Structure 1
Amino acid sequence: MKLTHAIVSAALLAMTAPAVSAQMLPYQNPALSSTERAEDLCSRLTLEEKVKLMMNSSPAIERLGIPAFDWWSEALHGVGRNGLATVFPSCIGMAASFDDDLIEEVFTAVSDEARAKNTLARKQGNVGKYKCLSFWTPNINVFRDPRWGRGQETYGEDPYMNGRMGLRVVRGLQGDGSDKYWKLHACAKHYAVHSGPEKTRHQFDINTLPARELWETYLPAFKMLVQEGKVQQVMCAYQRFEGAPCCGSDRLLNSILRYKWGFDGLVVSDCGAIGDFYREGRHEVSKDAAAASALGVLSGTDVECGSVYKRLPQAVSRGDIKESDIDVSVKRLLKGRFELGDFDPDSLVSWTSIPLSVVNSKAHRDLARKMGREQMVLLKNNGLLPLSPKSGKIMVMGPNAADSTMQWGIYYGQPGHTVTILEALRERLGQDLPYVRGCAVTQMTDRESVFGSMTSSKGRGMEATYWNNTRMEGTPAAETVYTSAIQLDNGGNTVFAPGVNLTNFTTRIKGTLVADRDETLNMIYNNDDGLRIIINGDTVHNRWKTDPLGFRERELPVKKGQKYDIEVDYMQLEDDATLNFDIMRTRQVTAADAVAQAKDADVVIFAGGISPAYEREEAKVREPGFDDGDRTSIELPAPQREILKALHEAGKKIVLVNCSGSAVALTPENETCDAILQAWYPGEQGGYAVTDVLFGDYNPSGKLPVTFYRDDSQLPAFDDYLMAGRTYRYMRQAPLYPFGYGLSYTTFDISKPKYKNGKVTVSVKNTGKVSGTEIVQVYMRRPSDTAGPNKTLRGYTRVDLAPGQSKTVEIDFPRELFENWDEAAQEMRVVPGEYELMVGSSSDAKDLKTIKVKI
């Protein structure tokens, strides 16, 4: 019998009736505390059953009515890897908004979508990875080096800011704690002292870190989320710290996390981290899998993402660990599931009433656009922006202008539709707005589609036949022809063709290409569920099964005059449907080509930067400037730099829209471009957000959550975790753009601050001609602490002002915010003495006004 959550809930609901209450076991009684229920249920489990519950994919245990549960779901900036969802801007972009309230609103929307999708999955008996109520976000690691490919997952380089924004993410995901049940579980990761490199994280040991840097830089955000945010999960990191793997570190997980901070939630391992304990070439601190499993549990890791914990019974039998030690973790994880309402009827869990209609709803898409606007950072403007009819003839160029997937960042869901930068600009300026790609992100190449050269029995294009079954049998449900690249999905309940089901259907798409030259073309395709590609009868791609959304590319060598019969078979099995297919020609280009194509333009909007295809978790990509998901250089890729220089020399006005998940060294571009807009990876509504700013519909207010260095020479060694020379807190050289920096279409004046009764007070005036928002920032320094940071962020607030308007602003600054490292006591505390409070519009000294305060 398949044990669905619906069956379990019905059974438990029946047991709550007075007539059968006497038959109810303690763990089945919603009136008891989660601790009591967990104690009772743990006592009824066998050792083998306990071990099954300690893995991220926990199977149902039918004899006790325990439904299946998977601890691994993603919600980095929207529900990830689970079909249709709203894709918000990258986390590093959201941090640039300096808008805590909006971040909480975003993650409230995310948790609404997550709960609605989970409720449906449980009713359908279809729970599994990415579909349950445990979400492994936020990433609150300090973004200490811009080369780290996963830095885009964080909220920047400042410990306080990561903690403060992380608190709002947790609140948005979990709820405010007033309900009997948590809405979801959030997870603070990666604990601790982690921020790359990706390539060596499975064997790297950070063993020379001073105590000050541990407590003042790498731990504060985690402490905030544990003690203030009541985050329900913490994920331990891959690398070793002081000789011990983080997921096997008694110091990190027990001494600090549980005993010092009082954390009583779950510790989950990063995926495969326990296996790193014993595998050759990795940490090799355990002799085998059984010993590794025992070390993980004894150190405090309750749930493993992986399969090593299967060896726990062996570890018990040979004395590596006692079953009572395992019980500690089992009770914690059961308590967590009870507090989510996972065992209880939907009628008792208010969160289950959230309707599925919230998923990628108009309200959430509007919210994605709002966040997209607020996260834009205007780095340079010589007066060209905002654009207007007086700006002259405009054209669009750049490898990121029409790239929808670039806007999704990493760990994304599937939006109903992504508004690219080019699409939004053409919607505003007309469909004849000229566009050329100019080059690829890292190569001096351009691509054009040859799909339009395809023919079928029905004329130009590829002909498609649909069936409302997964066998490609019977009377077709629909027939149609595609004359341009195939881009299909069922987001917003949109069928692939009239008469075709939303789910459980198949299609066969056929066409013929006659090569007009000898060359190697590229087939580019992505799909959710089954896909076969057949060329002249040979199957070159075959994944005919349930399959998550994936992006793939395959070379297609062709000879002039030869025919290539191409068949694309697609099968939709469950959840959402996606099918994209195109055939592209790649050609070499030059900067001179770009200038020639822009000959009639006065203004070039160049959408460039980098791509999440290159900077991400362990990406197996080696392109110039990138290696295994990290960057080897922070410079703008050379092809883009050459084109921008050539356009400048040709007299063109240039707006650079830089898309990236990290800082890019834009020193030459600061000279060659008239305006630079940092757009990050702006989410599914990113095209609108960029256009709104470029044309002045929205006055930019974003500020940099990371330092933009001048060039590679300003960076210390990537694998050096010492903070000397890093970030605005310890950097001694002048950066290109400082932390907290960002321009507006208006100007502001911030008065000298006052400090009284735990509050910083300043007056802020809009001295320009348009309405705008200033972000007032408060920094702190202890002058006698010569070994400490230059300054450190301790507060910020957004101030909306009409032209000429002034406001008095109060920012809370209680005594505990003066906490810093006491070298003599070897601990974090408020050291009595003189402090400097610096208030202004960025971390740069020229933008700050200082007062002295005695504490």
Structure 2
Amino acid sequence: MKDQQLTSLLNQMTLEEKIAQLQQLAANFYEGAEEGGQITGPMASMGITDHMIENSGSVLGLSGAEQVIAVQEAHLRKNRLGIPLLMMADIVHGFKTIFPVPLAIGCSWDMERAELSAEIAAKEAAVSGVHVTFAPMADLVRDPRWGRVMESTGEDPYLNGRFARAFVRGFQGNDLTDDVSRLAACVKHFAAYGLSEGGRDYNTVDLSERQLREYYLPAYRAALDEGAEMVMTSFNTIDGIPISGNVKLLRQLLREEWGFDGVLISDWGAVKELIPHGVAEDEAEAALKAIKASVDIEMMTECYVHQLPALVADGQVDESIIDEAVLRILKLKQRLGLFENPLRGADIEKEREVIFCEAHRTAARELAVKSCVLLKNDQVLPLTTEQRIALIGPFANNGDILGPWSWLGSTEEASRLAPALEARAAAGKVTVAEGSGIESFTEEQWLEAKAVALEADVIVLALGEHSDMSGEAGSRSDICLPEAQRELLQRMKTLGKPIVVVLFNGRPLDLSGVIENADAILEAWFPGSEGGAAITSLLYGDENPSGRLTMSFPVSVGQIPVYYNHFNTGRPLHAPGADKRYVSQYLDIPNEPFLPFGFGLSYTTFSYSEPNLSGEIMTKDQPIKVTVTVTNTGNVQGEEVVQLYIRDISGEVVRPMKELKDFAKISLSPGECKEVSFTLTEAQLRYYHSDLSFSSDPGQFKLFVGPNSQEVKERDFRLTLA
């Protein structure tokens, strides 16, 4: 269908039919769907009529080729103009084949594998009839109390932008019309949702426009520059205005300044939530503010369908605004090829071949390997085949390793740690005991675990969070391991055996009670469908850990927010000659995070040469080439993430102590040296000034190269703009 045909179709629609296109309803509203479509919020009586359903534009949470075909065909029989439905769902880190949670994928620093994970998720979802995924989440997060940190790729705007692009490429491919194995991507949550006060979900956000543009908007912009078809509004306020009614952020910045002409959808119930936020007196005012802010689709509340007809009739809303919104929705359906092929992609036979196939599981296993981060190793890992292993803990044989937003994943079919270890070790060398529950601990559990541990050479403790402890509405004020598990670990320590802790969790943790009692710690996150196999290959050294943290681990919750790209203050802790008390510090804990951004250990070691610069003066036309030689000084092959940071010594506004500007992931054999080169340009030194202009400042800069944000070698250079 061509653009002029879409305009003709729009002109045939009644006002009520247009407004119904702006309504998104859950699957169980539709004929042909089984009861219990995916619901993520409270269900209330909405006063939705059959006519509204027959003319609605999109469905939330429906999948499965048979159901999608049934719903779409039933809808087309009833829809006067034959306008097909859009099928949307949260395909965040896999469909049936579940990949590690996005925070874990971020720790891989591997854009190709991240893109592949989205491509596979799209293939499985598309063959099941899904058209749109509510991903990627591009929110920058500095507070691990926030449950949805597991959906982010971390605390750095540059790296988040790289991953956002990779996910969009994977989901969408090159041509949504011809490639029915891809999905339209919806970047979320616009904007700054990750800055919710206190790390509490749905909470207020307060920051300057300069900070918003500098740190929180770049990753969304990167996703849109990569071609993301949709944007989802966030639940929070910015400058006192909830996003779903925020004209400045949505219509002026997103639409007019950035030129985004795709579909903008509210998050679940967010339009009606303008009322409890306190900016709308009733549903009519909520609908008025959301449509004026250019929100095209209202998800799972009914303000538009009930209130827009009267708002148009009394002149408060010009029908042309509704026409613009409907046309954007119709164009997305056109780009997906739905007018020619309403059943796009849905294929019952192919579903059986594609979903959870061996090739997809292999890709999930490989990415899980790359996502795990070795946090500590006092010469305990890797394990050897002949060692007697006591595998103990609530995650020893637990399938709850998929993490939040894995609604079609199977915990029963997940690769669990116990059988994977038993298959890898020599016969009879692995003994398993639960030891404790996730939040419970009994003497009977302890006695069983103790007996198993006393017969072992090495204790492997599988500890962590239940998946409900993170994700949406999973905010926590205490981010330590649950007390029951810390008690188990502390008692195990008294047995005098080497202890390896494997952590399953969706956020950076306060490792108090863990770090001092464990001889080795492997951060596995929620590793997905192939987690057990991936972790086993790392524990036995079949694979070498290569993950690097993309979010700092705090010493304690009292440090939060703690992040690498912080400011120096006028009284920095380590200022020469400073009074030891009257500096910016805590009296009881360090300023620095327990584990910094970029950190991760390996079974080998690496050394770095001093960075070499092609020159010490940069201009707009003359970049600086940075080279450093990295050597594998250990005995096994390993991968290293070489990281490049800069610091602007004198900006018009205060600049961070370090900013990541580039990185390279390299593989080195034992004794091998490799020269790594980066080209640093003037454009990479630009930032938002106090007047919101975007430019660089001449003057002195520092450049840092190293394996993480703390262990770096530095050089100076100057930028000259004359």
Give distance in 2, aligned partners of 1:730 and 1:660: 29
**Alignment partner, residue 289 of structure 1:** 283
Q: CA deviation at 1:368?
A: 0.4
* SS of the residue 1:342 aligns to: coil
* SS of the residue 2:333 aligns to: helix
Coordinate RMSD, CA, aligned: 2.5
TM-score normalised by the chain length of structure 2: 0.83
1:88 aligns with 2:88: no
Contact 1:198 1:630 in 2 (8 A): no
Q: CA deviation at 1:593?
A: 6.2
Contact 1:216 1:828 in 2 (8 A): no
Q: Which has the higher strand share?
A: 1
Q: CA deviation at 1:386?
A: 0.4
* SS of the residue 2:704 aligns to: strand
Give distance in 1, aligned partners of 2:559 and 2:657: 17
Question: Residue 376 of structure 1: which of 355, 372, 375 is its match?
Answer: 372
Give distance in 2, aligned partners of 1:205 and 1:419: 39
Question: Residue 700 of structure 2: which of 823, 834, 837 is its match?
Answer: 834
Give distance in 2, aligned partners of 1:365 and 1:152: 21
* SS of the residue 2:468 aligns to: coil
CA deviation map 1:271-328 (0-9, x unaligned): 10001012xxx21211211221121111011111122221211222233312111111
Q: Given residue 76 of structure 1, which amino acid in structure 2 is its aligned partner?
A: V
Question: Residue 337 of structure 2: which of 338, 341, 344 is its match?
Answer: 341
Distance 1:62 1:210, change over 3 A: closer
Give distance in 2, aligned partners of 1:595 and 1:353: 50
**Alignment partner, residue 79 of structure 2:** 62
**Alignment partner, residue 531 of structure 2:** 686
1:36 aligns with 2:52: no
Q: CA deviation at 1:163?
A: 1.0
Give distance in 2, aligned partners of 1:115 and 1:354: 13
Give distance in 2, aligned partners of 1:849 and 1:701: 24
Give distance in 1, aligned partners of 2:127 and 2:683: 40
Contact 1:591 1:642 in 2 (8 A): no
**Alignment partner, residue 549 of structure 2:** 704
CA deviation map 1:719-742 (0-9, x unaligned): xxxxxx545535971221111000
* SS of the residue 1:405 aligns to: coil
Matches within 5 A, 1:459-538: none
**Alignment partner, residue 457 of structure 2:** 602
Give distance in 2, aligned partners of 1:389 and 1:751: 37
**Alignment partner, residue 237 of structure 2:** 240
1:221 aligns with 2:79: no
**Alignment partner, residue 820 of structure 1:** 687
Distance 1:332 1:246, change over 3 A: same
Give distance in 1, aligned partners of 2:388 and 2:565: 40
Contact 1:397 1:604 in 2 (8 A): yes
1:611 aligns with 2:466: yes
Give distance in 2, aligned partners of 1:309 and 1:758: 54
**Alignment partner, residue 160 of structure 2:** 162
Question: Residue 393 of structure 1: which of 388, 406, 414 is its match?
Answer: 388
Distance 1:309 1:398, change over 3 A: same
Give distance in 2, aligned partners of 1:403 and 1:770: 32
Distance 1:380 1:419, change over 3 A: same
Q: CA deviation at 1:178?
A: 8.9
Give distance in 1, aligned partners of 2:178 and 2:566: 42
Contact 1:186 1:232 in 2 (8 A): yes
Contact 2:432 2:452 in 1 (8 A): no
* SS of the residue 1:671 aligns to: coil
Give distance in 2, aligned partners of 1:665 and 1:323: 53
Q: Given residue 450 of structure 2, which amino acid in structure 1 is its aligned partner?
A: V
* SS of the residue 2:454 aligns to: coil
* SS of the residue 2:546 aligns to: coil
Show structure 1 runs of 4+ deviating over 6 A.
349-354
**Alignment partner, residue 230 of structure 1:** 227
Q: Given residue 413 of structure 1, which amino acid in structure 2 is its aligned partner?
A: L
CA deviation map 1:40-62 (0-9, x unaligned): 22111111111111112336463
Give distance in 2, aligned partners of 1:55 and 1:813: 47
Matches within 5 A, 1:538-549: none
1:794 aligns with 2:631: no
Q: CA deviation at 1:677?
A: 0.3
Distance 1:418 1:310, change over 3 A: same
Contact 1:707 1:728 in 2 (8 A): no
CA deviation map 1:787-806 (0-9, x unaligned): 22111111112101111112
CA deviation map 1:210-266 (0-9, x unaligned): 23321111111112222x212111111111111211011011102211122111111
Give distance in 2, aligned partners of 1:168 and 1:644: 39
Q: CA deviation at 1:703?
A: 0.2
Which blocks of at least 5 consecutive residues in structure 1 are unaligned? 1-29, 80-84, 119-131, 446-587, 619-628, 717-724
Question: Residue 355 of structure 2: which of 337, 352, 359 is its match?
Answer: 359
Which blocks of at least 5 consecutive residues in structure 2 are unaligned? 26-55, 58-74, 569-584, 586-590, 615-622
* SS of the residue 1:404 aligns to: coil
Question: Residue 765 of structure 1: which of 631, 634, 642 is its match?
Answer: 631
**Alignment partner, residue 261 of structure 1:** 258
**Alignment partner, residue 43 of structure 2:** none
CA deviation map 1:72-119 (0-9, x unaligned): 31110012xxxxx1111111111110001111111111111122221x
**Alignment partner, residue 481 of structure 1:** none
Q: CA deviation at 1:701?
A: 0.4
* SS of the residue 2:251 aligns to: helix
Contact 2:396 2:461 in 1 (8 A): yes
Identity of aligned residues (%): 34
Give distance in 2, aligned partners of 1:800 and 1:834: 33
Q: CA deviation at 1:749?
A: 1.8
**Alignment partner, residue 138 of structure 1:** 136
Give distance in 2, aligned partners of 1:321 and 1:734: 53
Question: Residue 740 of structure 1: which of 598, 610, 613 is its match?
Answer: 598
**Alignment partner, residue 184 of structure 1:** 183
Give distance in 1, aligned partners of 2:647 and 2:178: 42
Give distance in 2, aligned partners of 1:327 and 1:175: 29
Q: Given residue 399 of structure 1, which amino acid in structure 2 is its aligned partner?
A: P
Contact 2:197 2:204 in 1 (8 A): no
**Alignment partner, residue 273 of structure 2:** 276
Contact 1:396 1:434 in 2 (8 A): yes
Give distance in 2, aligned partners of 1:745 and 1:655: 14
Q: CA deviation at 1:381?
A: 0.6
**Alignment partner, residue 118 of structure 2:** 107
Distance 1:382 1:609, change over 3 A: same
Q: CA deviation at 1:137?
A: 0.4
Give distance in 1, aligned partners of 2:348 and 2:163: 28
Give distance in 2, aligned partners of 1:755 and 1:233: 42
Question: Residue 641 of structure 2: which of 771, 775, 800 is its match?
Answer: 775
**Alignment partner, residue 810 of structure 1:** 677
* SS of the residue 1:50 aligns to: helix
Contact 2:396 2:433 in 1 (8 A): no
**Alignment partner, residue 674 of structure 1:** 519
Would you say how many aligned residue pairs link Structure 1 and Structure 2? Answer: 634
Q: Given residue 169 of structure 2, which amino acid in structure 1 is its aligned partner?
A: R
Q: CA deviation at 1:440?
A: 1.6
Give distance in 1, aligned partners of 2:242 and 2:472: 19
Q: Given residue 254 of structure 2, which amino acid in structure 1 is its aligned partner?
A: L
